[in-house]
Amino acid sequence: MNASRQAWLRAALLVGVVYFVVGKVFALPANDLRWWRLSAWIVSGGAYAAHIAYEHYRLGSSPRVSASHIALAVAIGAILLAVAGMLHSLSTASAIRPTWLLALVVWPAVTAIPAFLGALVAGAVLARLQRSADAR
């Protein structure tokens, strides 16, 4: 596996785990839930933006390639959260409900598709800005 492939895969795994940790940690506090949810969105948005910047500036990936890497990271975070929810449900019930099996597919798709589209647009804008700056 070449270094470029290892770099994007490591970044996708790391950011996916960050999304999972944010989802778990920011769900713990019981007081002032709106503030904690907003904080989780802000931290996740920062990770998303940092991942876009890393793909564009550090790895030099095309918008489509970087969008797929970013969508993979989001899907990793979503599937980890679905597994954690399923395990928590299993700890309180005697069997896994079928809805959790559906969540293993739906959560990654519902989060990765918009993440892909947003990263694709952001990557295209960054590439265009970079081309216009280079032309000056």
Burial class (CB within 10 angstroms; exposed 0-12, middle 13-18, buried 19+) of 115: buried
Question: Does the pLDDT at position 11 exceed 90?
Answer: yes
| pLDDT tens digits for range 35-57 | 888 999 999 999 999 999 999 99
Query: Which amino acid type is present at position 52?
Result: I
What is the rounded distance in angstroms from the CA atom of residue 112 to the CA atom of residue 134? 32
* pTM score: 0.87
Which pLDDT belongs to residue 133? 82
